[in-house]
Structures are given as structure tokens and as C-alpha cells.
Structure 1
Amino acid sequence: MHDHHLTGRYEAMGREYASQLEDAGRSLAEASPETLEPSTERRAFARKCAAHVEEHAPFLLAELEGIADATGLEPEVVETVPLALDARAGCSLVAVGGERTVDGAPLFARNHDFCPSFRDFATCYRTEPADGLASVGCSCVYVGRCDGVNEAGLAIGFAEVPPHEFEPGVTWQLAVRAVLDTCRTVAEAVAFLESVPHATNVNFLVGDASGEIAIVEASPAEVTTIFPDDDIVSVTREFRTESMREYQSTDRTPADCSRRQAIAAWFDERERRVTAEDLQTVMGEPDVGVCWPIDERREDPRSTIWSWTIDPAERAGHLARDSPVETPYQAVRVPENE
């Protein structure tokens, strides 16, 4: 996994990212999971998405402009990748209420399940925007984030829900990044995620330092928020709200997901309160049934290519920077935004 620590105003962070790539001997094309020679159709779709990002998170376009200026690439080419990323991520997320933890503080976890080849692009970003919230999070695409926690103690992650179809809107990786940079509480995150047009079907799980938890189920047609009463909340690739299930392409409900069943069974077997280390066992050990070991021979090659456990109250977490089967969890903290 690569690392970038970016500071300053958004355009400056874009320039800094490009500079750090150059110092590492990498080009933007080598850091991009998609071609920097997009088709005419893809450019046109990205332009439509850009209009929505301009309305709801214009600072992200400023960061992209900084990357384009520093690399000398056409701005539209640089923007097309994060604005119109075509990816089929799996992913598992868990939030644990403080009433089930040893120290009474909530916990959050996420596995990024995707093609092993995308480990070449996986990056841990520490960002300290001059006019936003500092955060730490991971992604396979520049500017966007798949998960993370910010200085206010807000954690967020996503899981895509099939079908894999797109409409012009804000892609999940940009929505997650915008939440990390601008929202301090679950309530603020929910308000933002309910306000934006979403490009595709996606579940968001958000949790904050106070212990508030919410699931935001989003599609291009509708957005619904759930505030669960459970002290263990898991999210995968299915909508749980009946009205939202008409937008997904499978008949499966959350109760049909083997990963959610495995999470529930693991916690049911342990009536005691749990620790962050326990959560690493849930997310990182294949025998539990949540982590997918890397095996490119499978019909579905998606594997767990990084894994998080996060303590929102501490603004910190532990990150397995590759498959948690092979890679230990290491402490990671949100940078102090000065």
C-alpha cells in the first residue's frame, strides 16, 4: 500500500500529490486504476457528474485541478477517473455500540473486498485541508476515499449494491471523501448523503465518537436512512429497506448474506464485551467467514485487500495494509490539523 500525506488548500494538495508521485518515480497513469485515455462517452458522462460535484463538493474539483496543473495533463482526463470510476467493490462493514465494548467506546470496521490486482493502487491518505477536517482513509483512486475517520471522530465506509449501473451523480468515493472533510457527526453525514444525487447503488455505514450509528441506503432514484437500535450493526451488498430492494438486481436480503451471518454468529457466541483486537479477529481471520483470502483462481476473484478497525473516540484505528491474512494490523492516527 502506498502512502500520501497532504496538507494545505485543496488545489495545493492536488499539486502536492502529483509532486509526491514524481518523487516516488510514479506517474499519474501508474497510480490510476483506469486508463487516462478515456473514451468520448466516458468523458461526456464524467462532465455530467462534474456538475453535481461542483454543486455539492467543489473543493474536490479544485484538488483535481491541482493534479492536472502539476502533471500537465488535460483537466478533463484527470477528472474522469474519480468522477466516473467503474468498479465492483464487495466490502463488509461493522459498527459496535459502546454498550458492547470493554471501554464503553464505539468501534467501527471495514474490509475492502476487491480484485487483488488493485493492491497496486491501494493508498493510505492522511489529509490536513486548510479549510476542512483532517482525516485518514484508504482508496484505490486519487482524491476519493473508500473509508476512514476524521478529526471529529466520524468514521465512514461503503459497500456497493448491485446492479452495477451508473447515472450522472456523485460517485461513492467522492461522497465518502466529502463526508470526511466536512462532517463532524452522523447527523451531518446523513444530511449530506441525503442531499446529493448518487451515481449508483451503494450502502454507507457511518458512526461517530458519541456512538451514533446510521446506514444510508442510496440509489440514483432514492435515498433512505436507518438508525439501527442494535448494538452490532453490519452492512454488506444488500439493501435492508424493502422499498430500496426494488432497485437492487438480486432477491437477497441482508439476512441471506453469509458474511453478515458470520458476524452475528461470532458475536452471539461471545456474550462478553469486546475489544478492538476482537474486532480484528472478526474482520481479519478467514475462519470467521468475513475476510476473503487472496485466491485469483476463484470464479469471483475479489479478496480482502485491506482491512480497518477504527476507534472513533480516539480518532485512530488499526489498518492491515494488505490482506489481513498475511499482514498485521498497525496503528494509524488522524493527523493533527493545525
Structure 2
Amino acid sequence: MRHRHKTFQAIEVGDGGDGRWAAHARALWPEMAGLLTEEGRTRQGADRVRALFRAHMPELVPVLERLAGRLGRPGAEAFLTHAALRPFSPACTQIGDGGTLLRNYDFPPEQCEGTIVSSCFLRPVIGMQDVLWGLLDGMNDAGLAVSLTYGGRSVYGRGFAILLIVRYLLETCGTVDEALGRLRSLPVAVPQNLTLVDAAKAVTVFVGPDMPPTVAPDACAANHQHLPVTEEQERASRTQERLRAIRAAGADVAAMLRPPLYRPLDAQGLGTLYTAHYRPAEGLVTYHWPGASWQQSFGDFAPGSRTVALGRAG
């Protein structure tokens, strides 16, 4: 079994206007800029994605302009629309149950930003940030929590990376039903599964560039959607095995830290990077690793860093 360490950090960025977000983003920009597609680097492509952003996320336009201005790098505004990014495919497992959202995020550690961010762009939001202001998972002050998994299908279309859709839903919605309504008008670039939780409801919804948002049979997701999983896909991702396991376990943190839900780093460097346990009605999230945890909340957010061992399952 491979063992590796990864450092996670927690930062507060406010509304993005005082320089804290920009200082963090500038440090990451050299490795992030390569995620922009060739089309996004052209004037015509940049104009297209800005227009798409204005049409579908108008509430965030002032935030986009503020962050791009603070970042001050060529192509920053087009990049921050998340509508011209190269696709990526995390392999994760998640469940919503009893007002909680529990998820494992599986990805190569060197490709995960690993930043827990407390922001107030439009409203207070805490989540695991990736690609400068997108979110892998998060919660808002209204008691809504959202997380993502890859949908497992090789389809790509014009639309937003799911990271920014998670951000947008948390910035503009207060309930699961409100978020489901907004999803119907948002173009998504890659098939993804979203699990949404509030105090009264938990659902998983399948989204993609070739299908309308479709509510799943229950509030659980791994890395497939409505289509049958091939033997090759199952060998590579064990998506059906993980979905069966999380359905059997329910929202149990201990089960998430054991195989098959916890995935030690494999030969390609892919494994479980963290477990996030959201209790959005309480404004609390706890990040777990085997032998370690880190709690954050709206009432007591603690900036800092933690270095954790990856690859050790309980």
C-alpha cells in the first residue's frame, strides 16, 4: 500500500475584494492556467464563455469581475467562468441522509487544491475549493449542502464545470427544491452527479450535457448514472460496489474510512483524499482522515493547515 502526505489549508477570503483570495489564487495560477482550453484562449472563445456566464449566472457577474480584476492575469475572466476548462473525472462516493451530507473525494493528491474556504461572495459559504473558486462540496448559511461525483460517461458539451455549478447553487439557493429548479437551466459540460441536502430533504440528481437533470432513485451516488455499467468500467472504478456499500452503511463516517468506500492510493496515485461530513442546519462540517479530523463552522472558522497521511484505511 502506498502512503503519502498531503497538506490541507483553511482560509477566509471574505467577498474577494480585500486581496486574501487574490494572494492565494496568484500562487496557484501557474499550475491552473493550463486547464484553460485552446478555445478559451481566443478572443472569440473568451467572449462566448463570458456571455454564457452572464446569461446563466447573472448574480455572480459582479463577483466574477471583482475576482478577475484582483487576480490580474491574462485570460483570468474567461478562466474563472469555468466554461472553458479541460474536463476532469474525480471518482467519489456520497450520501445524503437525515439532514447530513457525507462524501469521500477520490483523486490524485497533487491535482487537488486542498483548500477549505470560508467566503461571503453573495452569502456565507464554507466548502472544499478547487480551481480557484469552484467547490467540490460545501454548505451555506441557509442550511443547504451540495457535493459532486463524476457521472462516469465520456460525453462533453458546451457548459460549465460542475465545480462552479456547486458554487452557484450555494450562493443563490436556500433549499434543495430551489437548487433543483435552478439546475434545469444550467448547461453542464460533463456528466456529473450532485447530492443536495437541507433540513427537510436529500436527493441525488444526474446532470450532463446530453440529458435534463434527472433525480436518482435515492440520495446516493458513486460514478455512474442511468446507463448500465460495463465490466471494464466496474473493474476500473468499482462504482457499483461502492454504491452498494454506501447504501448498506448509510451516513456512517466509520464506513467511509474503510474499504471499499475508502480507497488507498493505487499505482496511478488515485485514492481517497478526504471524507467530508456536513451538517448544514448546524453550519458544521468535519473533514476526516484515518486517525485525524478537522471541524469548521460558520460560528467558529479556524484558518490554518493540517498535514495528513493518505493511503491508510481503518
> Paired residue for 1:54?
54
The equivalent of 2:240 in structure 1 is 257
Q: What code does the residue aligned with 2:39 have?
A: E
Provide the C-alpha distance between the structure 2 equivalents of 1:192 and 1:250, rounded to a whole number of angstroms.
35
Give the direction of change, closer, same or farther, for the CA distance of 1:249–1:207 in structure 2 (3 Å limit): farther
1:117 shift after superposition: 1.0
Alignment of 1:127-166 (within 5 A): 127-129=119-121, 132-166=122-156
The equivalent residue for 1:270 is none
Counterpart for residue 238 of structure 1: 224
Decide which of 278, 281, 299 is 2:254's aligned counterpart: 281
Query: Which residue of structure 2 lines up, in the alignment, with residue 325 of structure 1?
Result: 290
The 5 Å alignment of 1:150-299 reads 150-210=140-200, 212-226=201-215, 228=217, 233-240=219-226, 245=227, 257-267=240-250, 279-283=252-256, 285-287=257-259, 289-295=260-266, 298-299=267-268
Find the counterpart in structure 2 of residue 110 from structure 1. 103
Q: Which residue of 1 aligns with 2:79?
A: 80
* Number of aligned residues: 287
Tell me, in whole angstroms, the C-alpha distance in 1 between the residues paired with 2:239 and 2:299.
39
- Provide the secondary structure at the position in 1 that maps to 2:244: helix
Q: CA deviation at 1:113?
A: 1.0
TM-score normalized by the length of structure 1: 0.74
Matching residue of 2:24: 21
1:2 and 1:255, CA in 2 relative to 1: closer, same or farther beyond 3 A? closer
Say if 2:308 is the partner of 1:307: no
Q: Secondary structure at the match of 1:83?
A: coil
Query: Normalized per residue, which structure has more strand?
Result: 2
Distance 1:4 1:46, change over 3 A: farther
Note the alpha carbon deviations across 1:28-81, whole angstroms, 9 max, x for none: 425x44527x5643435565333222112134443343333234312x245326
Please, which runs of 5 or more residues in structure 1 have no aligned partner? Answer: 98-105, 268-277
Deviation at 1:227, TM superposition (A): 6.7
Structure 2 gaps of 5+ residues are: 1-7, 301-314
- Residues 88-138 of structure 1 deviation map (CA, whole Å, 9 limit, x = unaligned): 1111111113xxxxxxxx22111111112124x221111123xx2211001
SS at the partner of 1:257?
helix
Cα deviation, residue 260, structure 1: 1.2
8 Å contact kept, 2:140–2:171: yes
The share of aligned pairs that are identical, in percent, is 24
Distance 1:248 1:219, change over 3 A: farther
Aligned to 1:3: 10
TM-score normalised by length of structure 2: 0.80
- Aligned Cα root-mean-square deviation (Å): 3.1
- Whose relative contact order is higher, 1 or 2, with alpha carbons under 8 Å and at least 6 apart? 2
For the residues of structure 1 that align with 2:91 and 2:184, how far apart are their CA atoms? 22
Give the match's secondary structure for 1:286. coil
Distance in 2 (alpha carbons) for counterparts of 1:223 and 1:335 = 37
Change (3 A) 1:95 1:203: same
What CA distance in whole angstroms lies between the structure 2 residues aligned with 1:29 and 1:248?
Answer: 38
Letter of the structure 2 residue corresponding to residue 259 of structure 1: R
Corresponding residue number in structure 2 for 1:91: 92
Aligned to 2:116: 124
Pair 33,72 (structure 1): closer, same or farther in 2 beyond 3 Å: closer
> Does the C-alpha gap of structure 1 residues 69 and 133 become closer, same or farther in structure 2, counting only changes over 3 Å?
closer
